[in-house]
């Protein structure tokens, strides 16, 4: 079993978490791994930077005057804070649309203070509060610009989703026929492929010059938007936002539901993917940071700034510390020529 973390209650191991990690270069070579890098896994919202590519390639973003800050929202699993909501509404408004066309479903804002404010004001959450509304807004403006049906943009057989599938296949160098699809939480298709192939996709995103000039410019624009406006990708007290605020000079990162995560190392041609079997997102954050530490991709002082994600104490209902979660794994080096550390 590939145990990545143990939960201690007192001195006894109470729970264990199983996980998988793949560190891969842009050619698909697995440099390091832990667990099963071949695990067929739904990338969930970690696919959003790739799903944003055909939106920009359609010409819609330029035609409607979408800003870089708003492009970051195409890649977001946002917290439903006021600036996220305003951003999604702005994107739609520029294309002559309203939030009534969003087909992402509704849930309360992830940000507890934003959800509490809605409740205090006696308001119900709307589709713009859904963490995936930015992605959906991007898909909608592409469909509008290309004069495609707006009512079915989220369905698998719609041109929007066919372009997404083709793009993921091309970026990850994995045949469309082999990609497993299902329906994601927000209603659009979700894509499953081996962890190492999706890591290869992020590795290729990290090195835009691997693509033709048009796609290279689009990818660079997307990843730069993510790291320039990390608050739009997640929000307050979110690992994506805080990690890119501190390390955005060297990486871009995107979380996915079910404890999936993907990182691209800027201009290095290296991608990293993570999956925790039980969906333990709190554990995932610490595993991500420990992986970056083992690869010398994060400095001690930066880890200290991210301590709330890295050091996991277990508390009872009174707030007393009754145990801790220890991250216990060591990456396996796959090739003698793989770097002992990745120079940043």
What φ, ψ does residue 273 adopt, rounded to 5°?
-125, 150
Question: pLDDT per residue over 176-232, tens digit each?
Answer: 999 999 999 999 999 999 999 999 999 999 999 999 999 999 999 999 999 999 999
**Which string of b and e fits 47-68 if b means at least 16 CB within 10 Å?**
bbbbbbbbbbbbebbeebebee
User: What is the structure's pLDDT at 339?
Assistant: 59
User: What is the structure's pLDDT at 316?
Assistant: 87
Question: pLDDT per residue over 42-85, tens digit each?
Answer: 999 999 999 999 999 999 999 999 999 999 999 999 999 999 99
As a whole number, the mean pLDDT across the chain is: 95
Q: Which residue has the tokens 């010059």?
A: 209
Question: pLDDT per residue over 139-185, tens digit each?
Answer: 999 999 999 999 999 999 999 999 999 999 999 999 999 999 999 99
User: What is the structure's pLDDT at 280?
Assistant: 74
Among candidate residues 147, 169, 170, 177, the one with its CA nearest the CA of residue 159: 147
- pTM for the model: 0.95
Question: pLDDT per residue over 85-98, tens digit each?
Answer: 999 999 999 999 99
- The answer to whether residues 57 and 222 touch, using CB atoms and an 8 Å cutoff, is no
User: What is the structure's pLDDT at 285?
Assistant: 96
In 173-247, which residue ranges form alpha helices assigned H by DSSP? 195-205, 213-228, 230-233, 239-247
Neighbours of 337 (CB within 10 A): 8
Among candidate residues 239, 232, 247, the one with its CA nearest the CA of residue 274: 239
Number of H helices, E strands in the chain: 14, 12
- The answer to whether residues 97 and 140 touch, using CB atoms and an 8 Å cutoff, is yes
The Cα 186–Cα 188 span in angstroms is 6
């Amino acid at each position: 079993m590939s145990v990545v973390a143990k939960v201690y209650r007192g001195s006894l191991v109470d729970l264990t978490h199983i996980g998988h990690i793949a560190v891969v270069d842009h050619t698909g070579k697995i440099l390091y791994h832990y667990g099963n890098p071949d695990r067929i896994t739904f990338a969930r919202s970690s696919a959003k930077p790739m799903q944003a590519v055909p939106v920009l390639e359609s010409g819609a973003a330029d035609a409607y005057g979408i800003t870089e800050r708003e492009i970051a929202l195409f890649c977001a699993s946002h917290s439903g804070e006021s600036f996220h909501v305003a951003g999604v509404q702005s994107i739609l408004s520029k294309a002559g649309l309203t939030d009534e066309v969003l087909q992402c479903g509704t849930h309360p804002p992830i940000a507890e203070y934003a959800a509490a404010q809605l409740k205090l004001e006696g308001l119900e959450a709307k589709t713009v509060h859904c963490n995936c509304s930015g992605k959906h807004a991007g898909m909608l403006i592409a469909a509008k610009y290309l004069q495609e049906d707006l009512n079915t943009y989220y369905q698998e057989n719609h041109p929007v989703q066919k372009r997404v599938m083709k793009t993921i296949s091309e970026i990850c160098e994995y045949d469309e026929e082999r990609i497993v699809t299902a329906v994601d939480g927000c209603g659009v298709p979700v894509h499953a492929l081996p962890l190492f192939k999706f890591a290869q996709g992020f590795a290729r995103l990290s090195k835009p010059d691997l693509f033709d000039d048009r796609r290279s410019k689009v990818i660079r624009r997307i990843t730069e938007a993510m790291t320039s406006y990390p608050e739009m990708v997640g929000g307050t007290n979110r690992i994506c936002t805080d990690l890119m605020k501190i390390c955005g000079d060297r990486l871009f990162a995107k979380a996915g539901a079910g404890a999936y995560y993907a990182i691209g190392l800027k201009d290095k041609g290296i991608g990293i993917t993570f999956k925790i079997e039980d969906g333990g997102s709190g554990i995932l954050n610490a595993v991500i940071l420990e992986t970056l530490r083992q690869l010398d991709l994060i400095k001690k002082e930066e880890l200290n700034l991210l301590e709330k994600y890295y050091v996991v104490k277990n508390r009872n209902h009174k707030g007393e510390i009754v145990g801790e979660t220890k991250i216990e794994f060591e990456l396996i080096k796959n090739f003698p020529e793989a770097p002992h550390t990745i120079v940043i």
